[in-house]
Each structure stands twice: as C-alpha cells, then as structure tokens.
C-alpha cells in the first residue's frame, strides 16, 4: 500500500457524483415504493423474478443466483415474505433438499399494483433526466464495470 494513486479532478468528480447518485436514487426508490405499497425493493425484486418465472415458481437457489443474494439472506427474507402471505415455500419432490418458492395470488396482486408505480419512479428519479446518448453511455459504462468486477464468492452460486 506504499504510494497510493489518488483521483485526479475528473475522476474525483465522477466518483463523488456516482456515489451520491447511487445512494440517493436507491433511497428515493425505496422510500417511494415502501410508502405507496408496503413493499421494499428486496420484496419487489423477489416478486418480479417469481412473476416472470414459468408457473410463478422458482427453486430457491435459482432465485438466489438471479438476485445474487447469500443463501441465508434469501432464507430469512422468504420466511418473512411467507409470513406476510406474498409467497409460499413448498418442498421439492425431485430433490429432497430443495425448495420451491411460489408466488401467491396476494403476491401477484402486490407486484402488479406496484410495478407501474415503480417504473414511474425509475423514470422520474433516473431515466427521464437523461438523453439518449447518456442512456447509451450509462449502459456501456455499467457493462464495462460489471465485466471487470470480481466474480463473487459467498453467494448462492458458490
């Protein structure tokens, strides 16, 4: 850790801006969704994946992989969501260890009501402020950064 290469002016501007944006956009989305629907962003992500899956169900580890969540986080979260009636946990016939996570009618209604609001928020807080060029730049930036990230240890896929 001898000589650190600090950020120059442009790098610093990008980093500070990015940091503030990432933090505040997430906070704004979370609070808005939570107040309007009672769903957290985490709940929302789970419900979206289930609602797009065949027969409204996924194996827990598939869900964990898709969300990039640790398995224990997933387990805790699913237990809490089940208690609220949003999902159901069913044991899996083909694999005795396995678990099917199934969207309930309540869960489906929740996600269908929340989705338009959430998309409007995503537009209002982020997307609609950007030009087509900026959208493209943001997509390319994200893809490049993601490609360079360490391929995670400690997740469901480990």
Partner DNA sequence: GGATTCAGGTAGACATGTCAACTACTTCTG
Partner DNA sequence: CAGAAGTAGTTGACATGTCTACCTGAATCC
The per-residue DSSP string of 2-14 comes to -S-----HHHHHH
Cβ nearer to a copy of itself, comparing 51 with 102 = 51
Within positions 107 to 146, which residues make up the interface with a copy of itself, using CB under 8 A? 113, 115-117, 119-120, 122-127, 129-130, 132, 134-146
* Residue 73 contact, options a copy of itself, DNA, none, Cβ 5-8 Å cut-off depending on partner type: DNA
The whole-angstrom separation of Cα 107 and Cα 46 is 10
- Give residues 96-115 in contact with DNA (rule: CB under 7 A): 96-99
Q: In this structure, how many other beta carbons lie within 10 angstroms of the beta carbon of residue 29?
A: 18
Distance CA 155, CA 136 (A): 30
Name the binder of 106 from a copy of itself, DNA, none, CB < 5-8 A by kind: none
**Contact set for DNA, span 69-88 (CB under 7 A):** 69-80
Shortest Cβ 158–a copy of itself spacing (Å)? 14
């Amino acid at each position: 850790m001898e000589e650190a290469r600090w950020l120059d002016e442009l790098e610093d501007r990008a980093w500070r801006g990015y940091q503030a944006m990432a933090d505040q956009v997430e906070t704004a989305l979370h609070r808005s969704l939570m107040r309007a629907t009672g769903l957290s962003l985490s709940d929302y992500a789970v419900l979206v994946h289930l609602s797009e899956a065949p027969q409204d169900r996924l194996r827990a580890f598939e869900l964990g992989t898709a969300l990039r969540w640790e398995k224990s986080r997933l387990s805790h979260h699913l237990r809490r969501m089940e208690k609220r009636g949003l999902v159901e946990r069913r044991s899996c016939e083909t694999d005795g260890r396995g678990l099917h996570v199934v969207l309930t009618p309540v869960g489906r209604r929740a996600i269908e009501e929340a989705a338009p609001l959430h998309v409007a928020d995503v537009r209002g807080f982020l997307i609609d402020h950007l030009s087509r060029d900026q959208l493209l730049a943001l997509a390319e930036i994200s893809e490049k950064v993601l490609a360079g990230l360490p391929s995670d240890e400690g997740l469901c896929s480990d």
